[in-house]
């Protein structure tokens, strides 16, 4: 399983700003190893964030996203002390979910 995501969620005026650093190789499938064999594609396909059971972000990614991707977004309706949960699923079926408390 991948390393935990680093997530920060903080109030910014009347919105919650969420910043996420994900740990993932994000291999495109186009590079070759030292022997010249293609390295299989391995990348995050979907990312979703929820707050109080409501989806506040849904994204579909492809192999063009960089290694260890960073994502930042804002949403309304959050309050300090509440949780934001972030989940990603990659093209090999691996999945990671982490959460942060809004400060």
**pLDDT tens digit string along 27-70?**
999 999 999 999 999 999 999 999 999 999 999 999 999 999 99
Q: Which CATH number fits domain 6-29+40-101: 1.50.10.20, 3.40.50.300, 2.60.40.10, 3.30.1330.60?
A: 2.60.40.10
Residue 75: how many CB atoms within 10 A of its CB? 17
Q: Where are the domains of the chain?
A: 6-29+40-101
pLDDT digits (tens, 9 = 90+) for 64-89: 999 999 999 999 999 999 999 999 99
Name the pLDDT band for 1 (thresholds 50, 70, 90): low
∠ at Cα 98 (29, 62), nearest 5°?
Answer: 25
pTM of the shown model: 0.91
Say if residue 60 is exposed, middle or buried (CB neighbours under 10 Å; 0-12, 13-18, 19+). Answer: exposed
Q: Which whole-number Å values give the CA distances from 82 to 21, 22, 54, 60, 99, in the listed order?
A: 20, 21, 13, 26, 10
What does the pLDDT read at residue 92?
96
């Amino acid at each position: 399983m991948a390393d935990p995501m680093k997530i920060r969620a903080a109030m910014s005026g009347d919105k919650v700003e969420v910043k996420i650093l994900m740990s993932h190789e994000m291999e495109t499938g186009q590079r070759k190893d030292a022997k010249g064999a293609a390295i299989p594609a391995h990348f995050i396909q979907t990312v979703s964030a929820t707050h109080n059971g409501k989806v506040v972000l849904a994204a579909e990614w492809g192999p063009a996203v960089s290694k260890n991707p960073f994502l930042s977004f804002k949403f309304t309706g959050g309050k300090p002390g509440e949780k934001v949960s972030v989940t990603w699923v990659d093209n090999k079926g691996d999945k990671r979910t982490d959460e942060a408390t809004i400060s």
